[in-house]
Amino acid sequence: MELHGKSVFGGIAMGRLSVYHKTDNAVKRTKITDIEAEKKRFEDAKEEAKRQLGVFYEKAVREVGEVNAAIFEMHQMMLDDLDYVESIINMIETQQVNAEFAVASTGDNFAQMFAAMDDDYMRERAADVKDISNRVISILQGNGDAGLSGDEPFILLADDLAPSETVQLDKSKVLAFVTRHGSTNSHTAILARTMNIPALIGVDFPEEGVDGQFGIVDGFDAKFFVEPDEDTKAEYRKLKEENEQKKRLLQELKGKENITKDGTKINLYANIGGVSDVANVLANDAGGIGLFRSEFLYLESEDYPTEEAQFAAYKTVAENMAGKKVIIRTLDIGADKQVGYFDLEKEENPAMGYRAIRICLDRTEIFKTQLRAIYRASYYGTIAIMFPMIISVNEVKKIKEIIAEVKAGLDADGIPYKDVELGIMIETPAAVMISDLLAKEVDFFSIGTNDLTQYTLAIDRQNPKLDNIYDSHHEAVLRMLKMVVDNGHKEGCWVGICGELGADETLTETFLRMGFDELSVSPSMILRIRDKIRNTDLSVK
């Protein structure tokens, strides 16, 4: 039997299936006579629930870190929430009902209220309030925590798992978990990812007949197999072995230099879209950030982001990178990245239209606001700035004039900043052909291979009809890359790639032989490219 769901965490697990059934907290409404005693029963159960959550918090801190353990602190706070507690106490007093019924009713009411909200974060709280209510009911009914363990390693199947249930998992025994419900953004999903347990949600597995059977969880392709045939087992044994070998290899590469066997070094940086991506950059051991796509601050906002909002984002990234280089690309909207409040007119050919630096040099107040924010943030780390879609030396000179105005304004306001490296994106054939002249004006080049390829080949990279002739390895593109490196180096410019091609492992050796100083790739590709670099010997022709 082959089933499908959504992946919460990748990986492959093979083993016996164990179906987890929650403790049945069936609640009956009972009329009580001693209201004060019933209120005390609830208060005692609430305090015991908080004590249990404290134990879970300590266990989670040890296993998954303080940030991911915070859910249990939040659950403790929710148990003391005045609205929640008052609703339960009021129901016991006015309706003279048993504490179990009051807790269950309040839990359902609050969960429905949260579930109806527009905000994703608040909707997730519906599961949390149900979790704490079920815990209190279990204590009131004298039910212990359901065991989530077994003698042999197993794949856990459940209707859903609350965070408090997930943290009880014995990681040495649980190979993976598969649930019918849940969400990819729930606390349980976050814990699963942190605990490195392959996990699927939204899998409609049968109610009966699967307990104890052999199963396979494919967290990469979101597949779940029950009693697979021998060919499928053999295929997944091989995939599992390859995946584990790759994980071991990549972990061994953390902290190692990006240096070839013959001693050639290259910087390996990461591309990011926002502040939240920095954790992934650090986890994958990138040497810096080679492309901070600042337009995401504009795309995610309903109006022009203020200087303060931008400054806060750039400063946070600079501080979190602790002195490692952070290259911020100035606003690059237009073409396929439209922002409503910019009121850009519809164009026949937006890829070659009013976009990127062309907008910034036309609407200079927007540009100055961004530059002020970047220069202010430069004081808190090692920031560099690069400008997209350059086609002339005059553009660079205009940019420098605007920067001089911005610096003068900061000086007048007594705001500290650092002089930063200035660079340009090479993503037009025009920039390639005059790269010898442009190199005299800037400190570095970063090649945007996505646009450079589409402009060079005159092929819209988003047109699926042309996929068969779109060739990022085209000799014309490769010759251009070499020309840019040579022209940059002659004038003392360092040269990198921040386009998708930088992560193409089949070209890593080619880029090293061309003399590139830096490759900037998605964080998940850092260690794979490092492995490729360290296994390359440029002395062998």
Which backbone phi and psi does 538 adopt, to 5 degrees? -75, -10
Residue 468 lies in a domain: yes
**309 and 448: one domain?**
yes
Residue 182: give its domain's CATH number. Answer: 3.50.30.10
**128 and 172: one domain?**
no
Which helix (H) or strand (E) segment holds residue 495: the answer is strand 494-497
Residue 248 lies in a domain: no
| Residue 431 vs residues 434, 435, 436: alpha-carbon distances, Å | 5, 6, 9
Residue 296 lies in a domain: yes
**165 and 195: one domain?**
yes
**426 and 285: one domain?**
yes
Predicted confidence (pLDDT) per residue in 134-176, tens digit: 889 988 887 655 445 555 788 888 887 766 666 666 666 788 8
**pLDDT confidence of residue 184:** 64
Residue ending a domain, choose from 107, 141, 175: 141
Tokens of 186: 């729930």
Task: State the DSSP code for 349.
Answer: S
427 is in an annotated binding site: yes
Lookup result for tokens 């296994």 = 535
**pLDDT confidence of residue 147:** 47
90 is in an annotated binding site: no
Residue 345 lies in a domain: yes
First to last CA, the chain: 51
The whole domain housing 120 covers 35-141
Residue ending a domain, choose from 241, 273, 303: 241
**pLDDT confidence of residue 302:** 79
- Known catalytic residue at 493: no
Residues of the chain predicted below pLDDT 70? 21-25, 63-65, 67-68, 143-151, 162-172, 183-196, 334-341, 343, 347, 461-462
Residue 251 lies in a domain: no
Residue ending a domain, choose from 120, 141, 162: 141
| Residue 85 vs residues 79, 80, 123: alpha-carbon distances, Å | 7, 7, 20
**157 and 275: one domain?**
no
**276 and 420: one domain?**
yes
Q: Which residue of the set 75, 187, 360, 493 is catalytic?
A: 187
Residue 252 lies in a domain: no
**290 and 385: one domain?**
yes
**123 and 156: one domain?**
no
450 is in an annotated binding site: yes
pTM as predicted: 0.60
Residue 158 lies in a domain: yes
**pLDDT confidence of residue 251:** 77
Task: State the DSSP code for 507.
Answer: G
Residue 114 lies in a domain: yes
**137 and 151: one domain?**
no
**420 and 489: one domain?**
yes
Residue 105: Cβ within 10 Å count: 18
- Known catalytic residue at 498: yes
Strand order in the sheet with 2-4: 2-4, 223-226, 214-218, 12-20, 154-158, 174-179, 199-201, 6-9
Residue 212: Cβ within 10 Å count: 10
**pLDDT confidence of residue 258:** 95
Question: Which of 503, 509, 483 is closest to 495 using CA atoms?
Answer: 483
CB proximity list for 275: less than 8 A, separation 6 or greater: 313, 316, 317, 320
Number of domains in the chain: 3
**79 and 199: one domain?**
no
Residue 86: give its domain's CATH number. Answer: 1.10.274.10
24 is in an annotated binding site: no
**pLDDT confidence of residue 115:** 83
Q: Which residue of the set 75, 360, 493, 498 is catalytic?
A: 498
**213 and 113: one domain?**
no
451 is in an annotated binding site: yes
271 is in an annotated binding site: no
**pLDDT confidence of residue 354:** 79
